[in-house]
């Protein structure tokens, strides 16, 4: 949450920073600000609301300079006001700082600083950091890069919490500094210019060479170079990585919204999740990143899957898939719960944490807690440079490319594809025959085409969605692996349309949910032709008997659903283990259309942020 961008070079910083902030807006967008060094003093511009508002403030009152820092905020401490928007300043007003993270001991530090005569102008935890660094800098009196870095080091040693920061000081005009602990920070390496950002997508327009900072590292950047050191004071080793994607990958292209673009990318992203991983020769899956031999995989007797939000729904579907194809007991748990639970885990338990961003604070904490207890803990991530990807003992990358829309879409189906791969892998190690393995591989190979076929339903889904776009409450129902699909569909709708929506196992309807059924409340049933189809059909009848409108997602060729449901969306026939992927896509389109119809900001829903780096 919160995005930071810093620039030092020869170009005009403002357009670079504004463009970077726009690309980071998914990390938070309640207010934004920028500080530039102009003629020996720091000029600041701030605005509440979107980056566009900040751009307008700057257009009205321009600033110039080639050294600057900027920030887009997702409020944690202090309301959404101009005063609380970053950058924040120290006592002298000559140091400006932007921050992503939470300073847990900010109250204690603030009291101490106030006693020493520091006056605070915001309610943020961040302002404490600015004062602390400024205080250390002034005390040392060294107006140099080394002086600023030492001041940073001294201040950060007093801090408990998480931070990704960028700062500049008017007395050290050729230097931009940054540091990280717990919140991501990447350094963009240019020619005669350098960048700092929370995410590489903010700078990929300018450079594709990046250094991903590690926790407890401090960086000092100049036009012509940079130095990375540790909080303890020694030089740090680093690697310059080539960014895999291009600026084009993080553009909307011809689509009106990132979400729609990302929904349409799914035939390719599902293909990318499969690419090079299916072995026809052995009728199994190769996932080298797991860093486990077949013998070690054979010893796994239980799997724990964890994540937050959409990633948790993938875990729930993974539970069904792995249990049915591999006959392995699986438990899934919200990462925010797992980290504080004392879940009995035997030695042969294998833990997977699932996270698109690889930065979700609760998921990272669950990973660390599991590792602390000595469990091998693997990550399923999209962001290859993320903290979870780095800290896990191995894992599987989604390879879905950057996902910018706050509502997860393509990352979800990539996660489900990986869940199927894991189910096949564990199944083949345990009881699935060569023939059965080959059968699953053949089905998986068809998956990208089936996904493309589902997307052909776009117009029909939009027509259905428009019909119900004014409803204020939606019920989503499914059974077995399609129950979490119902949860995910409800989450998508809530996130981007702000209507009340809930997901339930179809049979639970009569245990309470049915009280909500009315002519105004549409029920969406995920009812493909599977072993529980007839049961779903009865549940649909129960809703219809109470005059509830029903939309059914069924299998192509189905004629029974038409008879009972008001509207029917038919997806291609596929084995049960692939249906969740195919059923999810029309429901993504359904949520998208309703949000557009209701005039909601699809890519940046209110109160949300894509990457939740606070607990
Ligand atoms: C936030 C996002 C969700 C996402 C969840 C987990 O809440 O708004 O869309 O599913 O975080 O994110 P992760 O990056 O860990 O998959």
> Does 553 have pLDDT greater than 80?
yes
- The best mutation among 27, 198, 310 to test binding of ligand 1, ranked by most ligand atoms within 8 Å of the C-beta, falls on 310
Pocket residue to mutate for ligand 1, from 367, 380, 408, most atoms within 8 A of Cβ: 408
What pLDDT, on the 0 to 100 scale, is given for residue 188?
97
d(CA 527, CA 551): 10
Nearest residue to 526 via CA among 594, 474, 469: 474
Q: Tell me which residue has its CA closest to atom 7 in ligand 1.
A: 309
Q: Please report, for residues 262, 367, 486, 588, the alpha-carbon distance to residue 465 in angstroms, rounded to integers and kept in the order given.
A: 19, 39, 16, 11
Q: Is residue 399 over pLDDT 80?
A: yes
365 lines ligand 1 (CB under 6 A): no
How many other CB atoms are found less than 10 A from the CB of residue 293? 9
CB contact at 8 A, 467 and 589 = no
How would you classify residue 334: left for phi > 0, otherwise alpha for psi between -120 and 50, otherwise beta?
beta
pLDDT of res. 385: 79
What is the tens place of the pLDDT at every residue in 146-203? 999 999 999 999 999 999 999 999 999 999 999 999 888 999 999 999 999 998 989 9
For residue 606, the CA-to-ligand 1 centroid distance in Å is 15
Q: Is 410 in the pocket of ligand 1 (CB under 6 A)?
A: no
Location of structure tokens 């399923």? 380
- Res. 615: pLDDT tops 90: no
- Residue for token digits 């080394």? 146
Catalytic positions: 2, 610
The model's pLDDT over 101-111, given as tens digits with 9 standing for 90+, comes to 989 999 999 99
What band does 26 get if pLDDT is binned at 50, 70 and 90? confident
Give yes or no for residue 380 CB within 6 A of ligand 1.
Answer: no
Ligand 1 center from residue 360 Cα (angstroms): 7
Total residues belonging to the chain: 615
Q: In what order do the strands lie in the sheet with 550-555?
A: 500-505, 473-478, 523-526, 550-555, 567-571
Angstrom distance (rounded) from CA 2 to CA 263: 25
Residue 33 has pLDDT above 80, yes or no: yes
Q: What is the pLDDT of residue 201?
A: 86
Residue-wise pLDDT tens digits, 214-262 = 999 999 999 999 999 999 999 999 999 998 777 777 788 899 999 999 9
CA of 408 to the centre of ligand 1 (A): 7
Burial bucket for residue 262 (CB in 10 Å: 0-12, 13-18, 19+): buried
* Structure token pair of residue 103: 């300073």
> Is any atom of ligand 1 closer than 6 Å to the C-beta of 612?
yes
- Show the 3-state SS of 123-186: CCCHHHHHHHHHHHHHHHCCCCHHHHHHHHHHHHCCCCECEEEEEEECCCCCCEEEEEEECCCE
Output the pLDDT for position 433: 97
Q: Return d(Cα 584, Cα 216) in angstroms, integer.
A: 40
283 Cβ contact list (under 8 Å, min separation 6): 428, 434, 435, 436, 437, 438, 441
Question: What pLDDT, on a 0 to 100 scale, did the predictor assign at position 611?
Answer: 75
Rounded to 5 degrees, φ, ψ at 158 are -90, -5
- Reported as a pLDDT band with limits 50, 70 and 90, residue 343 is confident
> Three-state DSSP class for 358?
coil
pLDDT for the residue numbered 37 = 97
**What whole-number distance in Å separates Cα of residue 496 and Cα of residue 490?**
10
User: Do residues 53 and 47 make contact, with C-beta atoms less than 8 angstroms apart?
Assistant: yes
Is the CB of residue 408 below 6 angstroms from any atom belonging to ligand 1?
yes
Q: Is 308 in the pocket of ligand 1 (CB under 6 A)?
A: yes
* Contact call for residues 135 and 127 (beta carbons, < 8 A): no
In a mutational test of the pocket of ligand 1, which residue from 29, 74, 309 has the highest number of ligand atoms less than 8 Å from its CB?
Answer: 309
**Global pTM?**
0.84
306 CA to middle of ligand 1, Å? 12
DSSP per position, 476-532: EEE-TTHHHHHHHHHHHHHHHH--EEEEEEGGGGGGTGGGG--TT--EEEE--SSTT
> 416 C-alpha vs ligand 1 centroid, how far in Å?
15
């Amino acid at each position: 949450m919160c995005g930071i961008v810093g620039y030092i070079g020869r170009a005009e910083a403002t357009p670079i920073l504004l463009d970077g902030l726009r690309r980071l807006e998914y990390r938070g967008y309640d207010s934004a600000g920028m500080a530039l060094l102009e003629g020996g003093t720091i000029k600041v511009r701030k605005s509440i609301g979107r980056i566009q508002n900040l751009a307008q403030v700057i257009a009205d009152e321009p600033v110039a300079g080639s050294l600057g820092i900027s920030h887009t905020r997702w409020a944690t401490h202090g309301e959404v006001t101009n005063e609380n928007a970053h950058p924040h300043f120290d006592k002298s007003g000559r140091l400006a700082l932007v921050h992503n993270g939470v300073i847990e001991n900010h109250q204690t530090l603030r009291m101490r600083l106030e006693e020493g005569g520091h006056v605070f102008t915001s309610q943020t935890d961040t302002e404490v950091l600015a004062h602390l660094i400024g205080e250390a800098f002034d005390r040392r009196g060294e107006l140099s890069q080394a002086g600023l870095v030492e001041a940073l080091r001294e201040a950060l040693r007093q801090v408990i919490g998480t931070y990704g920061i960028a700062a500049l000081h008017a007395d050290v005009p050729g230097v931009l500094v940054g540091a990280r602990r717990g919140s991501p920070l990447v350094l963009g390496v240019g020619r005669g210019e350098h960048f700092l950002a929370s995410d590489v997508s903010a700078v990929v327009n300018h450079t594709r060479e990046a250094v991903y900072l590690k926790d407890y590292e401090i960086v000092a950047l100049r036009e012509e170079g940079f130095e990375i050191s540790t909080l303890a004071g020694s030089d740090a080793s680093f690697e310059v990585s080539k960014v895999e994607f291009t600026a084009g990958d993080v553009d909307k292209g011809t689509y009106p919204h990132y979400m729609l673009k990302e929904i349409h990318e799914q035939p390719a992203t599902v293909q990318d999740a499969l690419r090079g991983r299916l072995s026809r020769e052995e009728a199994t899956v190769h996932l080298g990143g797991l860093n486990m031999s077949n013998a070690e995989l054979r010893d796994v007797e239980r799997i724990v899957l964890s994540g937050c939000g959409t990633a948790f729904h993938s875990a729930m579907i993974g539970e069904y898939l792995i249990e049915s194809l591999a006959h392995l007991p699986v438990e899934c748990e919200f990462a925010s719960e797992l980290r504080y639970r004392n879940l009995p885990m035997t030695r042969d338990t294998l833990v997977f944490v699932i996270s698109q961003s690889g930065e979700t604070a609760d998921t990272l904490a669950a990973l660390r807690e599991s590792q602390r207890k000595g469990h091998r803990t693997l990550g399923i991530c999209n962001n290859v440079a993320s903290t979870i990807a780095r800290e896990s003992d191995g894992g599987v990358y989604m390879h879905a490319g950057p996902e910018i829309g706050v509502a997860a879409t393509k990352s979800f189906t990539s996660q489900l594809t990986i869940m199927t791969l894991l189910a096949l892998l564990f199944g083949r190690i345990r009881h699935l025959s060569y023939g059965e393995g080959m059968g699953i591989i053949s089905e998986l190979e068809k998956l990208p085409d089936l996904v493309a076929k589902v997307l052909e339903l776009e117009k029909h889904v939009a027509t259905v969605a428009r019909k119900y776009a004014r409803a204020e409450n939606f019920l989503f129902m499914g059974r077995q692996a399609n129950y979490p699909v119902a949860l995910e569909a409800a989450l998508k709708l809530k996130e981007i349309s702000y209507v009340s929506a809930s997901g339930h196992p179809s049979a639970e309807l009569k245990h309470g949910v049915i009280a909500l059924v009315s002519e105004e409340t549409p029920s969406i049933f995920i009812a493909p032709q599977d072993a529980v189809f007839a049961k779903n059909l009865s549940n649909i009848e129960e809703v219809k008997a109470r005059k509830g409108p029903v939309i059914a997602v069924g299998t192509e060729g189905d004629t029974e659903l038409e008879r009972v449901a008001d509207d029917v969306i038919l997806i291609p026939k596929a084995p049960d283990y692939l249906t969740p992927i195919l059923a999810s896509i029309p429901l993504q389109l359904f949520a998208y259309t309703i949000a557009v119809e209701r005039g909601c900001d699809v890519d940046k829903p209110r109160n949300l942020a894509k990457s939740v780096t606070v607990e």
